[in-house]
């Protein structure tokens, strides 16, 4: 998404990116970024909280008018309510290391089978 924003900026369209994956967006480098420190999925406000959504979109509109240089990040003041999601998402520790390794092997096996099926269907070696 950041690459699309960059292309629009390069071609004369001002943009604001709204997101929750701060490192990914800032590594790529965009003109204007409204960061909300939430679990991935609701970068424009909590579900059904129309006032919060209105404020986040409003912040993006303010940034269109007021940012004067690229890589302007504004962090909205909202908190998710608990911090459990921070460590739980994509967690790797001793409790799930073996299960993750098995999942990976299973996925590679399925992908190899799907590829084999494609080759049979298309007659490729």
Partner 1 sequence: MNQRRAYRSYVSYIDGSREYYAAQGYSQPYTWAHHDDAPFTPLQKPLSKCRVGMVTTAGKMDAEVDRQGRRKTRELYAMAANPAPKRMFTADLFWDKVATHTDDLDSFLPLNRLAEYAAGGRIGSASPRFYGVPTEYSQGKTSLRDAPKILEWCREDGVEAMLLSAL
> Which residues, numbered 37-76, are part of the site for partner 1 (CB under 8 A)?
37-50, 53-54, 56-58, 60-61, 64-65, 67-71
Nearer Cβ to partner 1 (24/112): 24
Q: Which residues of 103-121 are buried (b: 16+ CB within 10 A; e: fewer)?
A: eeeeeeeeeeeeeeeeeee
Among 73, 74, 76, 101, binds partner 1 (CB under 8 A): 101
The nearest distance, CB 74 to partner 1, in angstroms, is 13
- Rounded to 5 degrees, what are φ and ψ at 33? -140, 125
73 forms beta bridges with 33
34 forms beta bridges with 18, 74
Cα separation, 97 vs 124, in Å, equals 37
The nearest distance, CB 29 to partner 1, in angstroms, is 4
Among 77, 92, 122, 124, binds partner 1 (CB under 8 A): 92
Among 74, 78, 95, 103, binds partner 1 (CB under 8 A): 103
């Amino acid at each position: 998404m950041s690459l699309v924003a960059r292309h629009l900026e390069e071609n004369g369209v001002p943009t604001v990116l709204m997101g929750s994956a701060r490192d990914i967006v800032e590594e790529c480098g965009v003109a204007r970024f409204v960061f909300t420190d939430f679990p991935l999925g609701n970068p424009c406000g909590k579900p059904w909280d129309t006032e919060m959504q209105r404020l986040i979109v409003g912040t993006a509109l303010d940034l269109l008018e007021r940012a004067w240089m690229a890589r302007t990040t504004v962090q909205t003041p909202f908190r998710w309510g608990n911090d459990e999601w921070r460590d739980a998402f994509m967690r790797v520790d001793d409790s799930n290391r073996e299960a993750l390794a098995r999942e990976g092997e299973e996925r590679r096996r399925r992908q190899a089978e799907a590829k084999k099926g494609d080759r049979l269907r298309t007659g490729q070696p």
